[in-house]
Every structure is written in C-alpha cells, then in structure tokens.
Amino acid sequence: MSPLLKSVQLAYGRTGLIVAVPRTARIIEPSHLRGLPDEAGAVAEALRHPIGAPPLKGLVQAGDRVAIVISDLTRPTPNEKLVPWLLRELDQVPRDHVVIINGTGSHRANTRDELVQMLGRDIVDSVKVENHDAFDDARLAHVGRNSYGSEVYLNRTYVEADFRIVTGFIEPHFFAGFSGGPKGIQPGIAGIRTILDFHNARMIGHPNSTWGVLEGNILQDSAVQNCLMARPHFMLNVTLNGRKEITGVFAGDVIQAHRAGCEFVRRSAMHAVDHPYDIVITTNAGYPLDQNLYQTTKGMSAAAQIVKQGGAIIAASECCDGLPAHGNYGRILQMRETPRELLDMIMDPSFSVFDQWTVQTQALFQLKAECFLYSSLDPATVRQAKFTPTADLEKTLAELLERYGPEARVAVLPYGPMTIPYVRRSARV
C-alpha cells in the first residue's frame, strides 16, 4: 500500500469491506464503548430499578394480557435477548397471555424464518407473534387526534392489552432526532393514515426535524403525542456499539427513560467537525441496517451533514433486499426525472404517498452533493434510483480526488448513521 494511504474497515453487509483512503482522511466513528460485561444482569437490574416507574414485575398481574412491541428486521435491536429476559422477569404471566407485536410500520411483514432469526425458535414456538399491518383498518383502533390535526390509529391488539411494553434501541435519527422510545409506537404500530401524516412534507421539511434534536422537533413531538394516547406502561430500550453489543440499558417511563438514553447516545455518537468535506464516504452500519436502499438513505443523510455544497458522497451498502420490492419508494423515484422535480412534487400539498418521506430526504442531499453507491444492486437499478453506481469504490475515490485537487478534504463514516457528525458552527445540534 502507498505510504500516502491507510486502510479503513467499513461496515458492509455481514462481512465488512476494507478500503484504502488518503492518510489525511478524517475517520469519524462512534465512541467505541465497550459492551456491558453482563448484558442479562444489566437488563434485569434496569427492570428492577427503572427510571420514572416502579419495578416491572410488581406492575403486572398473572392474569394480565401483555403486549410486547419489538422493532422489525430492518433494525439491529437485540430482540432475541431482550424478549426472553423480559419474559423471565414476568415469569408469573403464562406465555399464552403474551403477544409480541412486530412493529413493522409501513414495512413488509417478516416471515416465520425471519422472526426465528429475530427472536429465537423457542419464543416463536411458545409465544404468539403478530406482524403489525398498517393497512388493515380492522386491526387498528382510533385513540385520538393530535395537535397537528392527525387522527391517530394504533394496533388494536396493543391498545386492548392489559399491560403494554415497548422495546427498541436508541440511536440518532434523521427525522426524529433519536430513535427508540415513542417511535416504537409511532410509526412502529401506527395505521398508514397516521404514518402518512407523521411523515408529511411539512413535518419532514421542518428545520428541527433532524439528527440529534429533541426540543422543537415537531416530528418527535408528534411521536410523543401519539404514543401517549395509548401509553406504554413500561419501556425497555438499549444502546449498541459497532459490534451490536449492548452498551447501556434504559428502562421505565417511556419519556423519562428515553430522554436519559438519548443523552447517553448524544455524548457518544454526535461528533463536531470544524469544516465541511469535499468527499464523504459512508455506510449504513452493515447488516441488518443496509438490507435495502430505502434504509441506506440514512447513512447518506448522515454524510450530507458535513459534505460541502457541490461535494460528493460515496455510500457502501449491500442492499441484499433490493430497493426493496415492497412499498412505494422505487415507484416514487420514477415519477420525475430529477431530484429537484421529485422534491417539488412531494412539496405539493395534494401529493400524499407513503414512502415519500425517504424520497424527500434523498432529493435534499442529492441537491447538495453527487451521490455514488457501491452495492450488490445492478447498475441499472442504481441509476433508476438517481444514484451513480460504482463497482470499484477506491477507483471512484481516486477520480474524485483528481476532480477536487490535492487539497481535497475526505471524511469517512465507517458505521454510517451510528455516528452523526455536524459542522461545529451549525446551530442545528
């Protein structure tokens, strides 16, 4: 290797990807927190000494019908650990009184094999697991109207349960500031009309609907309002490092415990830089987050926070599940020729199609920077999605360095949206 280069390991699929970058490149990673030495013990301790709530076990009666909301396969939440540990703590409740609700939002239902992968065979064989269906009105319950004028529909099984638990993990989020907490309910188990309102162009386009912002974030506020209309009686959220190990456990009240987790993540995952960069290389944190291009826009949005106007973003994301095939993401991308035209279409109040929020975000960062994608997708599909395909990341980087000249600034986000950089003078963080 040239003495002017250094190797960087990118989170890509299940195996990772090694690339050579300039030795002067800024590598921006989350603080490498160690995984907890006793994850099960830490979760048990959090359940018995929660934040803003009494201990879990004493809250639940043996005859209660208990609903546990989990995040779906597109999230790295360690459901296979958290759910058994919850059930162990609630050993007074028969398993046939428990239902696990897979919070798919507007995503596709997960298959039995995927549920086994997510939860373990013992749980799938002994506990009822329900894929949330945002499109089936019969499986939804109306719980109220929020201050933004949205009629709020949530999963009926969840609403009618005697005791409601929401699980998840907390990381910076490109709309809501941080994931986890109320977002497990909204959009996780919301009806499609409520999801459309939640992600409408006005909500997504608000300047505070962005990474790392909670106060004044109308999207987070909407999630909180909707969640509290059928408030979870208990929350269990965790934080993760780049190896998907648990680094923190936040349990108890859905608002108080979530806020504590967000502050923990802010300290480890938000990184200030002094200037924008000509070229930013990013990922979508590897599998399962980089299963499709729809999710990959998060890693690109993270890169867009520090790329200069007219710069370039190179994303490495396997996209083994395609665009994906389900949903409207691919269809919306074909409705107009350019990102500008797509954005204008979406901003028209008469336009309302689920998945438009991802195209809106994509159009915004594509108007700022040229976007390249290294993936398993065929080049034609990548071009149809308005990205430039690359089969050789290092060659593309070399060509861009020639374009921007010897003083070009390069930054690398090996874990994509698990690290959110921002230009220090920005008032957005």
- Please give the positions annotated as active site: 107, 173
Neighbours of 380 (CB within 10 A): 9
Residue pair 146/226 in contact by the 8 Å Cβ criterion: yes
Q: Which two tokens stand for residue 183?
A: 């977002």
Dig out the tokens for 27 from the structure: 């590598």
Provide φ and ψ at 168, rounded to 5°.
Answer: 160, -175
**Number of other CB atoms surrounding residue 3 within 10 Å:** 6
DSSP 30-81: ---PPPPS-HHHHHHHHHHS-BSS--HHHH--TT--EEEEEE-TTS---HHH
| CA pair distance 172, 419, nearest whole angstrom | 8
Note whether 248 and 239 are within 8 A (CB).
yes
**Residue 175 has which token pair?**
């709309």
CA distances, 62 to each of 56, 253, 345, 353 (Å): 13, 21, 53, 43
The whole-angstrom separation of Cα 291 and Cα 13 is 8
- What's the distance, Cα to Cα, between the start and end of the chain in Å? 38
**Assigned token pair, 153:** 């529909």
Residue 223's closest CA among 312, 154, 121? 154
